[in-house]
Structure 1
């Protein structure tokens, strides 16, 4: 799923992190250049600088190809404009918007292009579940909130794990394989699965670093 998130504050950044970890194509828009610089190393997320209320910027950021737009700025007026542009001008299929001031909640409806209006006090888990219309990201969010890292690694022809079964791989302590994606399809990671070049693994760990996990497979 292609997702565009407007607003790289705490909320927008957390949503971007969770959705990208769930293998979605995520673009994050932010008008503050200093904040954009801080986010330069955000893994698997494209960060674009500029005002998300600008139609030209939205188009440049790829809104025409997006399945979901999330307006998560701290200003209700901006979230309404972004939602309206996404739905009416660019025809985005699903638009979610954060309501910062409860007195403005009545504005956040389909007339303004909003499919899902989420009050600021709504738990982040619920926001993501409602915005995406799916539940597969919720487990990842619960893991991240519990201090568990979600890490990806890919098997190549040079990987020492290629040709071996999962049961033969010695994983770092506190690490489990959540799924093996082969030919675009997730498979159950039982010990007998033999790893092949092109396989992508999603692992969760509460102790190991990303480097330690990659080392176990590469």
Structure 2
């Protein structure tokens, strides 16, 4: 699958990482050249700086041949414009757009080219499943169907888990770390691995809440 993601914030970056890890062809674009430059050493995806609200730029980024466009910018106006261009000009089969302000939800429909409106609070895994229309994008997606929570957390310089080995992290009962994404690459966690700022973790749990998992690391 070819995916074009507009908006290289935390959400857009995470979507790009997960889709790339599942062997999809991913392009991530953002108007901020510094942000794109920052991600070049971290992500194994195609990165392009430019304004996704401009049809010419979207064409340059591959909109003519992409299977899905996901608009994840922090601006509802931009996400609607991107969606409309993707659907009307480039006939992208599936378009998903993040809704930042719930009062604008009514705008995110077929009239603006949006196939899948995604509320900002939607969990990452659910967002990817809805945006791509595939429940097997990564193996973790199937877990949500089996009553297992899929939870993500990111390590920053301020996180108390930064610099600590995974063996030293006390996790809630019934919780397992499945993947550590480091420098854009998914890594199988080991007990000796020391967490670094910038690491992103995906965990599964039968019982723990997102708040309980985050408390173990933050």
TM-score normalized by the length of structure 1: 0.67
Partner of 2:179: 148
Aligned counterparts of 1:105 and 1:21: Cα–Cα separation in 2: 30
Name 1:206's counterpart in structure 2.
189
Cα distance in 1 for partners of 2:100, 2:11 equals 12
Structure-1 residue corresponding to 2:131? 131
Matches within 5 A, 1:1-218: 1-140=1-140, 142=150, 146=177, 148-149=179-180, 205-207=188-190
Deviation readout 1:92-150 (Å, 9 max, x if unpaired): 00000000000000000001000000100111111111001112235347487546247
1:42: how far off?
Answer: 3.2
Alignment-derived partner of residue 191 in structure 1: none
The Cα offsets for residues 10-50 of structure 1, whole Å up to 9 and x where unpaired, read as 00000000000000000000111111111112332000000
Match of 2:160 in 1: none
Deviations 1:37-73 (A, max 9, x none): 1111233200000010011110001110000000000
Inter-partner Cα distance in structure 2 for 1:129 and 1:36: 25
Greater than 4 Å deviation, 4+ residue runs: 140-145
- Asked whether the equivalents of residues 22 and 138 of structure 2 are also in contact (C-alpha less than 8 Å), the reply is no
What is the match of residue 185 of structure 1?
none
Larger-gyration structure (1/2) = 1
SS in structure 2 at match of 1:64: coil
Structure 2 length as normaliser, TM-score?
0.67
How many residue pairs align between the two structures?
Answer: 159
Provide structure 1 residue ranges, at least 5 long, that are not aligned to the other structure.
152-202, 210-218
Q: CA RMSD in A?
A: 2.3
- Indicate the larger mover: 120-129 or 102-111: 120-129
Secondary structure of the residue aligned to 2:129 is helix
In 1, the alpha carbon distance for the partners of 2:119 and 2:61 equals 26
Cα distance change, pair 69–18 in 1 and its aligned pair in 2 (3 A): same
Using the TM superposition, give the Cα deviation of residue 76 of structure 1 relative to its aligned residue in structure 2, in angstroms: 0.1
